[in-house]
Structure 1
């Protein structure tokens, strides 16, 4: 779906058109589920968090002034939902050196190693890598979603790429 189509659907959604809501839901939900799935303990929890976000979005979409930032706004809402869930569940995951040590030991195939390599990154770098590569966000959209300066996004992405390259070569 092109940005112009998304913008028109968001405008229709803001006017209360249920079909527009349905189309936006169908288009964005798979990516949101993937995004949440990387951050929480189970896919069922991720699905619940995504549903909660859609409910909140339906209530608040009329407050969105610039329809061009809908995707960033949606992912930012999911980030807040995940953060709230973590606080209430007192389940704070920390990616540490254990993930790195396990990578080489498991003998995983290439596709199976990728999530493990991402876990070895700092959370703020992992999030940028996922948005850029897995969700195909532009650097500007990442900046809006994470509420970070564009230069910070660029430097974290660069640092994450270097670390991933190091982690990957250590695993061979």
Structure 2
């Protein structure tokens, strides 16, 4: 699928072409659901948030001016739908205090042919990371999912969520601190000063 084809679908969908919009949904539904699955507590909520995001996209397409890419705009709608759902149902927890720590968490566990014992440990770690993400407030979970799991830069997150860059950095720092504390309390994470990475910001 070329960028030119995507633009044709967008232009047609803006004029009310439902087939063109369905093509955009098929193009992005897996990525949107991957995002909402990380932010919501269960698959039903994730599916509901994804559906709300695409509904908002359909309703908002006539006003989409292309200042940001369509994917960035759709990510924003999906993220906001998740936050709205979590807040509406009152299932988020209060955020912890601020932190200036900017240590990388390396949430993507490598897949280099592990042995059975190592594979089990990695599965356990991934499960603990998922549980830790669910323990965060929606705002902090939102930025961490986009940064660590979808590999967006700070600037891209700021654009996606329509936030100041400083707010993005602050939320990521606080979210990392909370998640790291969660993993430490569950005995599945050891803070290593050598694990800090450079050059990934922005």
TM over 0.5: yes
Alignment of 1:93 with 2:92, yes or no, is: yes
Deviation at 1:58, TM superposition (A): 1.7
Cα offset for 1:116? 1.5
- What SS does the corresponding residue of 1:68 show, helix, strand or coil? coil
| Matched residue, 2:114 | none
Matched residues, number: 162
**What is the RMSD computed on CA atoms of the aligned residues?**
3.4
Q: Which residue of 2 aligns with 1:56?
A: 56
Q: Which has the larger radius of gyration?
A: 2
What SS does the corresponding residue of 1:92 show, helix, strand or coil?
Answer: coil
Corresponding position of 2:140? 125
What is the CA distance between 1:73 and its match in structure 2? 2.4
Q: Which has the higher helix share?
A: 1
> In the superposition, relative to structure 1, how do residues 150 and 6 fare at CA in structure 2: closer, same or farther (>3 Å)?
farther
**Contact 1:10-1:67 at 8 Å conserved across structures:** no
Task: Give the structure 1 partner of residue 109 of structure 2.
Answer: none
Shift of 1:162: 4.4
> Aligned with 2:128: secondary structure?
helix
State how 1:140-155 maps to structure 2 within 5 Å. Answer: 140-155=155-170
Structure 2 unpaired stretches of 5+: 97-120, 189-202
Q: Which string of whole-angstrom CA distances, capped at 9 and with x for unpartnered residues, describes residues 8-60 of structure 1?
A: 54344334555542332123222322332344443123213322332332232
Normalising by structure 1, report the TM-score.
Answer: 0.69
Taking structure 1 as reference, are residues 118 and 52 closer, same or farther at Cα in structure 2, changes over 3 Å only?
closer
Whole-angstrom distance in 2 between the partners of 1:85 and 1:123? 10
| CA distance in 2 between partners of 1:164 and 1:45 (Å) | 22
| Structure-2-length-normalised TM-score | 0.61
Task: Check whether the contact 2:92–2:136 (CA below 8 A) recurs between aligned residues.
Answer: no
Equivalent-residue separation in structure 1 for 2:148 and 2:162 (angstroms): 19
Structure 1 residues 136, 122: CA separation in 2 closer, same or farther (over 3 Å shift)? same
Tell me which of the two structures has the higher relative contact order, counting C-alpha pairs closer than 8 angstroms and 6 or more residues apart: 2
What do residues 43-93 of structure 1 show as CA deviations (whole Å, max 9, x unaligned)? Answer: 1232133223323322320201125332232233234434554565x4333
The change in CA–CA distance for 1:31 and 1:95 in structure 2 (over 3 A counts) is farther
| CA 96–142 in structure 1, closer or farther in 2 if over 3 Å, else same | closer
Shift in alpha-carbon separation, 1:110–1:53, aligned structure 2, 3 A: same
1:7 Cα deviation from its structure 2 partner: 4.8
CA distance in 2, matches of 1:121, 1:85: 15
